[in-house]
Amino acid sequence: EDKVVQSPLSLVVHEGDTVTLNCSYEVTNFRSLLWYKQEKKAPTFLFMLTSSGIEKKSGRLSSILDKKELFSILNITATQTGDSAVYLCAVEQRGGGATNKLIFGTGTLLAVQP
Amino acid sequence: EAGVTQFPSHSVIEKGQTVTLRCDPISGHDNLYWYRRVMGKEIKFLLHFVKESKQDESGMPNNRFLAERTGGTYSTLKVQPAELEDSGVYFCASSAWTGTYEQYFGPGTRLTVT
């Protein structure tokens, strides 16, 4: 069965800390891996990773994919209280026809304390 | 540019009643997806439209769920009759037909069946 596993389930840090969130997967017909940030409502898109070893960066956030070991990490440096959210990892599965559906992990709840 | 919108944000209905959820994708996005998160579980795929055509509805729980996308713009998801286990958050996402296909999510509709 296809699955995406995120760890840790939750994490509490202080402002300024660096955190690493993990995502491992076993998904057939892999197309890409995506990270989303969910604060209150809509999951907001962070990164899409398709190739191994190429780091994607956006400000204090960065992510990398290892397609051989089937995992990805999301790093957040110099955390701020505004980084508090649930971080979702999803693997895009290439399906029949035109469908590329997302298979989600349960998320990592990050709380950044002042 | 407006994001994906969903209506209503929250619906409380009694078991046996009918509810219709609406999703307006990002303008110009041909791909429209429905997902659902039930309590304590991960977000799961329900179905996928390309324009007005259903491409994959393998995630639909049963025949009490009916999705439509007439005209290839907004989509509706009807639950009739609703059961207690249908409670959860229903997300809609859309993506472009070309490019990197990342899916952008709406804020979700929280459905509570009592």
Residue B113 lies in a domain: no
- Say what the pLDDT of residue B39 is: 86
- Say what the pLDDT of residue B16 is: 96
Low-confidence ranges of chain A (pLDDT < 50): none
Residue to mutate among A4, A7, A33, A41, with most B CBs inside 10 A, is A41
Residue B65 lies in a domain: yes
The residue of chain A with its CA nearest to that of B95 is A100
Residue B19 lies in a domain: yes
Q: What is the mean pLDDT of chain B?
A: 93
Nearest to A97 among B42, B56, B101 (CB): B56
Whole-angstrom distance, CA of residue B38 vs CA of residue A35:
20
Residue B61 lies in a domain: yes
Cβ A43–B91 below 8 Å, yes or no? Answer: yes
Q: What total number of domains does chain A contain?
A: 1
- Say what the pLDDT of residue B101 is: 74
Q: For A57-90, write each residue's pLDDT tens digit.
A: 999 999 999 999 999 999 999 999 999 999 999 9
Residue B80 lies in a domain: yes
Q: Name A111's bridge partners.
A: A12
The CATH number of the domain holding residue B65 is 2.60.40.10
- Say what the pLDDT of residue A95 is: 77
Residue B48 lies in a domain: yes
Q: Name A44's bridge partners.
A: A37
Residue B110 lies in a domain: no
Q: For B37-93, write each residue's pLDDT tens digit.
A: 998 899 999 999 999 999 999 999 999 999 999 888 999 999 999 999 999 999 999
Q: What total number of domains does chain B contain?
A: 1
Which residue range is the domain that position A87 belongs to? 3-113
Question: DSSP secondary-structure letter at A78?
Answer: S
Whole-angstrom distance, CA of residue B67 vs CA of residue B49:
9
The CATH number of the domain holding residue A19 is 2.60.40.10
Which residue range is the domain that position B93 belongs to? 5-98
Judged against a pLDDT cut of 90, whether residue B97 lies above it is answered with no
Q: Which residues contact B39 (CB under 8 A, 6 or more apart)?
A: B87, B88
Q: Which residue has the tokens 């994906």?
A: B4
Residue to mutate among B102, B104, B109, with most A CBs inside 10 A, is B102
